[in-house]
Structure formats: structure tokens, C-alpha cells
């Protein structure tokens, strides 16, 4: 894919999907294939990333509060449905992660990423 095509897709993702599009555009620029808002019985998976022999189920959390355990449980359940690795993205400076939830994520194999607001 040409650089101009990637830039165009990144811009369209950001305009259409907001924060989810910004996160997806980062993975797109890394050379992965992305799919947004894939429906499941537990609710939509925000982003599915495939490429390089990996498959990730990404949940974007942007609320300016502490991350509840239900969000982590949700991303784990959704990832199991599609045989992917769960990733929790904390978007912006607002979301906080308590020590208890952090340990819970590590025990269950959930990767945690923070992306600063642009």
C-alpha cells in the first residue's frame, strides 16, 4: 500500500470513528490490517488487528475515570471468541488503572497500552 493511500485511510478513520479511528490508524501505519466495530454476542470489538502472524482484539477506553473490572472481563471474552490476544488501550490522560485491575490484566494476559490524545 502506498504512503498516500495509508495517509488517506488514516484521515478517514480519524474523521469517522474518532478515538477508535486514531488507535486503528496507528496499527494501520505499522503495516497491519484493521477491522473496526466487529459485532459479537458480547458487544462490538472496537478493533481487530491482523498481520505478522498475530491477531489482536483491542478495546479502547477513553472515560476519565478508573477502569472497571467489567471492561477487562469484556475484552477477554471477546478475544476468546475470535481466538485473539486481548489488548486494552487507555486513550488520553483521563483513564486510570488501579493496582488491583493492573494485576488482574497481567494474570489474564491482557496487554495494556496508553495512547496520548492528539
Q: What is the structure's pLDDT at 108?
A: 93
Confidence band, pLDDT 50/70/90 cuts, at residue 111 = very high
Q: What is the structure's pLDDT at 21?
A: 92
* Pairwise CA distance, residues 22 & 25, whole Å: 5
- 110 lies in which domain range? 35-115
CATH number at residue 44: 3.40.1350.60
* Pairwise CA distance, residues 91 & 106, whole Å: 19
Statement: residue 69 has pLDDT above 80: yes
pTM confidence score:
0.88
Statement: residue 84 has pLDDT above 90: yes
Q: What is the count of structural domains for the chain?
A: 1
Q: What is the structure's pLDDT at 61?
A: 93
* Pairwise CA distance, residues 48 & 84, whole Å: 8
* Pairwise CA distance, residues 18 & 36, whole Å: 12
Amino acid at each position: 500500500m502506498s504512503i498516500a493511500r495509508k495517509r488517506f485511510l488514516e484521515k478517514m478513520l480519524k474523521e469517522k470513528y474518532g478515538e477508535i479511528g486514531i488507535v486503528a490508524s496507528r496499527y494501520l501505519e505499522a503495516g497491519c490490517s484493521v477491522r473496526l466495530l466487529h459485532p459479537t454476542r458480547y458487544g462490538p470489538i472496537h478493533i481487530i488487528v491482523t498481520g505478522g502472524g498475530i491477531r489482536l482484539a483491542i478495546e479502547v477506553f477513553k472515560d476519565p475515570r478508573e477502569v472497571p473490572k467489567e471492561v477487562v472481563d469484556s475484552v477477554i471474552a471477546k478475544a476468546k471468541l475470535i481466538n485473539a490476544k486481548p489488548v486494552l488501550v487507555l486513550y488520553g490522560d483521563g483513564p486510570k488503572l488501579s493496582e488491583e485491575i493492573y494485576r488482574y490484566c497481567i494474570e489474564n494476559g491482557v496487554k495494556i497500552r496508553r495512547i496520548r490524545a492528539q
